[in-house]
Homo-oligomer: A and B are copies of this chain.
Amino acid sequence: MQLLRNKVIAEGIVLSNKVLKVDSFLNHQMDPVLMKEVGKEFTRRFKDEAITRVLTIESSGIAPGIMTALELDVPLIFARKQKSLTLKHDIYVEKVFSFTKQETNEITVAKKFIDPNDRVLIIDDFLANGEAAFGLARIVEQAGAKVVGIGIVIEKSFQPGRQLLLDAGYRVESLVRVAALENETVTFVEEDSSEA
């Protein structure tokens, strides 16, 4: 997605060879016009999947998630993150390890919002090790529903998440794929250049 790639080039800050800071348009300040285009692009890619719900995780997944849900005309659910939790019978819970923060969070979704007939599109802002995406997918599967795909705004393709998700049988669509963050420069996976 060229618009998004241009934004990464213009405003992304390479903090280390693993960390790309995009807080001016994606995860602290947000560009609503860009988010709308992100929603349109996910919809274009997944439009034949008869999606019934979009699932994301707080907080940075909510803006791309709501714009995608609007285009698809289905509800958005966002999973909540908590440090720990007393077990409840009316929520699905999965553990998600954050490599960045070196901590495990529990993510939760109320059972009433996913049913076995649902065809769910998972959306998140970043894909690195795939922990969050796997946690969300396990929640969908706990509900007996179908994960039709995983839509990622920015994928760090030099980390293992994408391959792990593909190996597990999921369809992954990333709008921008970052090949490397060496020498304070962002380089992209080249297949991107042929896309919208």
Contact = CB atoms under 8 A, between A and B. Distances in A.
Chain A binding site: helix, strand, loop or mixed by DSSP? mixed
A30 B75 contact: yes
Contacts of A80: 28, 59
A123 interface: no
B66 A29 contact: no
A118 to B, nearest CB: 12
A139 interface: no
Interface string A1-44: 00000000000000000000001110011111101100000000
A67 interface: yes
26 contacts: A23-B110, A25-B75, A28-B77, A28-B113, A29-B76, A29-B77, A29-B110, A29-B113, A30-B66, A30-B69, A30-B77, A30-B78, A31-B75, A32-B67, A32-B73, A32-B76, A33-B73, A35-B70, A36-B70, A58-B58, A58-B59, A59-B62, A59-B78, A62-B62, A62-B63, A62-B66
Nearest to A74: B32
A122 to B, nearest CB: 15
Contacts of A28: 77-78, 80, 109-110, 113
B33 A66 contact: no
Nearest to A109: B28
A69 B36 CA distance: 11
A29 B120 CA distance: 13
B69 A66 contact: no
